[in-house]
Chain A
Amino acid sequence: MPLLEIKGLTQRFGGLQALSNFSFHLEERELVGLIGPNGAGKTTVFNIVSGFYQSTEGDIVFDGKRIGGFRPHQVTAMGMARTFQNIRLWNDMTVLDNIRLARYSWLGYGFWSAVLRTGHYRHSEKLIETKAREVLEMMDLADYAGELPKNLPYGLQRRVELARALAGNPKLLLLDEPAAGLNSADVEDLIRHIRWIHDEFKIAIWMIEHQMKVVMSLCQRLTVIDFGCIIAEGTPEDIRNNIVVIKAYLGDEAL
C-alpha cells in the first residue's frame, strides 16, 4: 500500500479550475519531485494535502487513512510535515523554541499540568528539549539555538525551517521550493542535506522545485503539471527529453 495516494483531486476557486483530476501516489522512502511552470497549481496540491484547503473533489489517503476534511494540525499529527515557499518561521522565538514547538502534537500534557508544573510536565518538557537539541545538532544548527531566526542569514533560515519540519519525526516531508532564493553554494548544501535526511531518517520526500539541478540530482521520479493537469510523469531522464514538458516551460517557439 502506498504511503500517500491521491485520486481525482479537483479544486476550483470560484470560476478558476486550479486542479483537475490530479492523481498521484507515493511509496514509503521515495523521493519524488513535482514541477511545472508558475501558476500550474503545485502549491495548491500541497495546500490540499496538508489540510489548508478542502478539495472540491477527490480522495486523499495518507498512511492508510482518508484525510479529506482534516485540519492541518490533524494531518501533522499523523506524520506529515511541510516547509513553505516563503519561509514561515516564528521570528520572535529562539531557534530552539521554534524546533520545540514542532513537538506540539506530541506534548502529552495540557494546560493544568503546565500551570501546576507537575512531574508529568517536567518529564515531557525534558524529552522535548532533548529531541530539539538532537535535531539542531544533526542539522548543524546547534550554535544558533539561542538566536532569533530573523537575525540569521537566509540560507540558515531555510535550514531551520527544514529542521523544524523534521523535529516532528514525519513519515512524509513536503518541501515547497526549498531552494528558492538560495545562492549556488547554499543550493549545494541543501542538496546534500536533503539527500542525507532521506538516507538517515528513511522517510519519503515530495518536493516542489524550480531549479532543475536540484530535482534532477535528487528525485527518483518526477511529476509535471501545467494548468492543473498532469502532463508528464517519469524519471528525470524521461522528463528532460519530454516534448510536452519543454513546450509547457518554453512555449511552442522553442521547438
Chain B
Amino acid sequence: MRRYTLNVVFCLAAVALVALAQAGALDKYVLTIITFIGINCIFAVSLNLVNGYMGEFSCGHAGFMCVGAYVGSLLSVAFFTNSNLFGAALFPPQWAPFLFPVVLLGASLAAALFGLIVALPSFHTRDDYLAIITIAANYIIISIVENIDAIGGPRGFSGMKKTVNAMSDVADLPWMLIWTIFGFFVCVMTIYRLMTSTYGKGISAVCQNEVAAEIMGVNTNRVKIMAFMISSGLAGLAGALYAHVYGYVNAQAFNILKSTEGLVMVYLGGMGSISGVLMAAVAFTLLVEWLRFVIPWLNEVSHAAGLLPAGYEISQIWKWVIIPLILILLMQFRPEGFLGNRELTQVFPRLKRWITFK
C-alpha cells in the first residue's frame, strides 16, 4: 500500500484544493496563481518532450499554445454562448460542464495539427535550423491570428467567461481549477507513460543516436511527427485552459517571450526529467509572483536606508532584471538543471518505496 503514497497524496491534494476553493478559503488571487502554476506545468512538461527527451531545440512552443487558446475559445463560444460571431449557442448552456472536455480536445487537436508545420521540416533539419523554423512558426501563428479580423485581430478575443459562468450555473464549483487539475493529470500521465514504454523510448533513441535508432527499426520520421504533435497538442490544452481562466486571449500573450519562459522552465528543471521540469515550473511561477511583492518592499527599504536618490523608484520592471539574473546564477551552479536528465526517484532511490505509477 505504501507504494501508492504519491498517488493518494496527489488525489487528496487535488480534492483538498477544490474543497478549499469551494469553501471560499482561498482568495481569488491565490486561486488564480494555483491555476496558473498548473497551466505552466502543462506547458513546460509538454515542451520537455521535444526539447528534453528528443533533444531538439524548439523555441516557438507558445505558438501552439496560441492555437489552442484561440481554437478552444472559439469552440467554447460557439458551443455554449450566443455571440455575434457564431449566432445562437449550438448546445444548451447546461451541457457546458459535460462538453467542456470536447472543447479541450478540439483545442489540442488543432494545436497538434499545427505541430506538423514544425515536424515536417525536422526530417532533414536539426539543431539550430530547426530552432529557426520554430521561431518562425511562432511568429507566423501570431501573425495569422492578428490578421483575422473576425476573431478580434490584434484586439484579442473574449466571451469565454460566459462558458465558465454556464458551468457554474449547473453546479457551483471552482470549475477552472478542476479542469486545470484534470489537464495537468492528463499531460503528466501521457508523457510519463509514453516515455516509460518501449514505444516512447524511440524518442530518446532518436535523440541519443539517430542513426542507431533508424537501423534498429525506429521509423524516425514517424517518431518525430508523433513527438511534435503530442507536444504541441498538450501546449494547445494549456492554451485552452489559459484562455478560459482569464476569459480573454490576445495573440501577443503567446509571443516569443512566452516561449522563452517555457525554455527556462525546461532547462532549469533538467532536460528529460518530468519531476525536474515540474519543480522548475512551480518555482518559476512562484518566483515571478513573489517578486511582485518583494519589489515594492525593496523600494521602501532602500529609500528608508537612503540608498536611492529621492526621485528614483524601483519599479516592477526590475522583476525582469532580477529573474534572468537569478536564472543565470542558478545555471552557473547547476549547469544541467535541477535534476539533469534524471527523475526524482533516480536521484533519491528511497523515494521509490512511496511511489508507483502505472
- Residues of A at under 8 Å CB distance from B? 50, 52, 71-73, 76-77, 81-82, 84, 88-93, 97, 100-105, 107, 109-111, 114-115, 117, 121, 125, 128, 164, 168
Contact = CB atoms under 8 A, between A and B. Distances in A.
Contacts of A121: 197
Nearest to A88: B212
A88 B209 contact: yes
B209 A90 contact: yes
Nearest to A50: B215
Contacts of A125: 197-198
A121 B230 CA distance: 19
Contact of A117 (B193, B212, B230): B193
Given A88-B211, A115-B193, A97 B217 contact: no
B198 A71 contact: no
A71 B222 CA distance: 12
B219 A89 contact: no
Contacts, number: 94
Contact of B200 (A76, A105, A114): A114
Contacts of A81: 215-216
Contact of A90 (B189, B212, B226): B212
B214 A52 contact: yes
A107 B219 CA distance: 12
Interface size, B (range) = 20 to 34
B202 A82 contact: no
A-B CB proximity, top 7 nearest:
A105-B217, A114-B197, A88-B212, A76-B217, A90-B208, A72-B214, A104-B217
Given A104-B198, A107-B199, A115-B194, A92 B214 contact: no
Contact of B201 (A71, A84, A91, A93): A93
B53 to A, nearest CB: 10
30 contacts: A52-B214, A71-B219, A72-B214, A72-B215, A73-B214, A76-B216, A82-B215, A84-B211, A84-B215, A88-B209, A88-B212, A90-B209, A90-B212, A91-B208, A91-B209, A93-B204, A93-B205, A101-B198, A101-B201, A104-B202, A104-B205, A104-B217, A104-B218, A109-B199, A110-B199, A111-B226, A114-B193, A115-B189, A121-B197, A128-B198
A149 B33 CA distance: 43
B345 interface: no
B215 A76 contact: yes
Contacts of A84: 211-212, 215
B358 interface: yes
Nearest to B208: A90
A114 B208 contact: no
A71 B358 CA distance: 34
Nearest to B186: A115
Given A73-B219, A76-B215, A125-B197, 15 more contacts: A72-B214, A72-B215, A88-B209, A91-B209, A93-B204, A97-B201, A101-B213, A101-B218, A102-B217, A104-B198, A104-B205, A104-B217, A105-B217, A109-B199, A168-B217
